[in-house]
Structure 1
Amino acid sequence: MTLAAPAPLALKPLDPAKFRDADRTAKGEPRARVALKRLETLWVNTGTLCNITCLNCYIESSPKNDRLAYISRAEVKAYLDEIAAQGLGTREIGLTGGEPFMNPDVLGILEDCLSGGFRTLVLTNAMRPMQRHAKALLALRERYGDQLALRVSIDHYGPAVHEAERGPRTWEPLMKGLRWLGQHGFNLAVAGRKLSGEAEGAMRAGYARLFAELGIPLDTQDPSRLVLFPEMDERVDVPEVSTGCWAILDKHPDQMMCASSRMVVKRKGADGPAVVACTLLPYDPRFELGGTLADSRKVVPLNHPHCAKFCVLGGASCSA
């Protein structure tokens, strides 16, 4: 069965009274907050420039968007050194973008992360920017094995829905990169999106068929190998999360991303990088926590639609 691109849904716009006060919801209830329990994962945004423009990219990456500039190897190394100096016990460094393989320092950044003993996860579209580093990636794979992991964005298991989101002529270059990663035994995961309106079981089955055709032994029933992300649009209405919601939803603040991770960004024109609460909120100044990891140990109010849609109600996380 061939699926066409999904038709736009008529969704209720976000109530402008919501997500305005850090302490109270629009109903006057105390807003849910999350404390950093332990810095398990440090994300690094390598820059928002990307080789393609997606229809609904939460960070608005494109060949022209450089709101987040390329971060340098030295700037990333300073955060790795801070992790060591403070004994933070961070186990994973995640590189995201934009497309990380467009950053001219990406190979040096990877070398520093891997040689420092961190599991290093790169989020990539596996297209030409990654493919031009094939020789260097094989060398890193040879030296560090599964310590280097790549998560490839495949928005749907069929080309029609995928290209409706990512643009025409994006499917075949992606397939070329994916086959190459599989053939060379890289530690591989895939990120999909719930664009088509299918049930999750049907989506996992569809991806399983795709990987079988490609000869890639990826277990699509493993949620760490096939991550299916909920759709996000901060203009669409979503419930706010009060402190009372934890018991109602049978969830705990420690399960949220901001209890175990932070992200480093470098804003265009800024003197240096900054630490923000999570990967989803790189632009909102309310979620900028300071310039160092020590500064970032602040309690985070869940005062954004993404907090509710993606993390609390969606149960999603960018980390493995």
Structure 2
Amino acid sequence: MVLLSMTGLGGCGQSVERFGGPTMGSSYTVQFVPANNVPDAAKLKAEVDAILADLDQQFSTYRDDSIVSRFNALPAGSCMALPADMLKLWRFGEALAQQSDGAFDLTVEPLMNLWGFGPQSRREQVPDAAALERERARVGHRHLRLEDGRLCKSVDTQLDFDSIVAGYAVDKVSTRLAALGLKNFLVEITGELKAVGHKPDGTSWRVALEVPSGERERQVERSVAVDGFGLSTSGDYRNYFEEGGQRYSHTFDPRSGMPVRHALAAVTVADAQALRADGLSTLLMVLGPEEGYTFAERNGLAAFFIVRQGEGFSTRATSRFEELFPVPE
């Protein structure tokens, strides 16, 4: 779930070219300023599509033939050699898990399925206590270890990289576009994005941070100029269900096995690496408005929090976010 949109692109005429397509169950868009000795849009699209197809073959939990699905199908006690991309993301996820005392965890897929939000879900529902305890026993980064270059599982745990793979894709695509000679572009993949350089008129790419103005409508809360940063927003106001008068979010606290219950509606993180922004926005969303803000300030993160307050919302930014994206006078 994202609360990001590109804004201020009008007035660029035909100088900004665009292409995109489906990916990761959603879509991607690339906007760029053409330059001499740079491939045309069709060739750039082929390069991007190849990167995304490779990542899909590795990380899609909706494909039985993906590498992650093959790992997830292995029984307890199994080990498997993983490609470099997957090992890199597992190591990053493990670092976040340790840094947050388990608030971030790449093994929550059994809980997602149980509550109705995962790839093997049947329907959204509140599970019974026995089922919840059974699936919780399969969740936890402590159940995984790296051994002789292979990832091993001590229980029947399952990996799900959805909380970080889109950000990683943004980084990989951005790096490739820069290598092909592009200096001014904006990459957006399933809502995660990175902007580099400027528009043809010399102004910055601008991104709107939005809040819901109605039950499922949105309004711009703040617009930020972005150059060289990835932006990621995690939130719960669009992906949830209600049962017995209680709202259940798709964001889970791996430590309890339950959907988060705090008042944080969304949090945006900016970082030079879209991968880090993606993972950290999920982590802060799990921690909530108080613990998350404290974590972000302590670690010097650029984060923007949108918190439910009665029938409306309040916002709060970390000092690093205000430093990078000051409000215009």
TM-score range, shorter chain: under 0.3
Which of the two has greater strand per residue? 2
TM-score (norm 2): 0.24
TM-score (norm 1): 0.24
